[in-house]
Amino acid sequence: MAKILLLGGTGAIGVYLAPELVDIGFGVVVTSRSPKKSDNNKFTYIKGNAHDNEFLQKILADKYDAIIDFMVYSTDEFRYRSELLLKNTNHYIFLSSSRVFAGSNLTITETSPRLLDVSADYEYLKTDEYALAKARQENILRKSRYKNWTIVRPTITYSQTRFQLGTLEANTIIFRASNKCPVILPQEMLCKRTAMTWAKDVAKMIARLTLNKNAFGEDFNACTHEHRTWDEIAQYYKKLIGLTIIPVNIDTYIKVVGNKYQVLYSRMYNRVMDNSKILGVVGMRKENLTSIYDGLTKELARPLGSILESLKINYALNAKMDKITRSSISKETATIKEKFLYYSSYIRF
Give the residue from 244, 250, 246 showing the smallest Cα distance to 263.
250
CB 261 within 8 A of CB 131: yes
* pLDDT (tens digit per residue) in 38-69: 777 778 999 999 999 999 999 999 999 999 99
DSSP letters for 262-299: HIIIIITS---B--HHHHHHHT--GGGSPPHHHHHHHH
As a whole-number percent, the residues of the chain with pLDDT over 90 amount to 94
Highest mean pLDDT of the ranges 29-38, 167-176, 303-312: 167-176
Sign of CA dihedral 116, 117, 118, 124: positive
The Cα–Cα gap between 272 and 194 comes to 7
The Cα–Cα gap between 93 and 203 comes to 12
Give the residue from 101, 88, 92 showing the smallest Cα distance to 132.
101
The Cα–Cα gap between 286 and 190 comes to 26
* pLDDT (tens digit per residue) in 164-186: 999 999 999 999 999 999 999 99
Mean pLDDT (whole number) for 77-87: 95
Q: What is the pLDDT of residue 38?
A: 77
Give the residue from 213, 159, 204 showing the smallest Cα distance to 18.
204
* pLDDT (tens digit per residue) in 264-279: 999 999 999 999 999 9
**One-letter amino acid for residue 263 of the chain:** V
Q: What is the pLDDT of residue 37?
A: 80
Please check the confidence at residue 155 and state whether its pLDDT lies above 80. yes
| Mean per-residue pLDDT of the chain | 96
Q: What is the pLDDT of residue 263?
A: 97
Phi and psi of 150, rounded to 5°?
-140, 135
* pLDDT (tens digit per residue) in 92-109: 999 999 999 999 989 999
Higher pLDDT, 134 or 10: 134
CB 317 within 8 A of CB 256: yes
pTM of the shown model = 0.95
Q: What is the pLDDT of residue 36?
A: 82
| Band of residue 320 on the pLDDT scale cut at 50, 70, 90 | very high
The Cα–Cα gap between 284 and 276 comes to 9
Q: What is the pLDDT of residue 41?
A: 77
Please check the confidence at residue 34 and state whether its pLDDT lies above 90. no
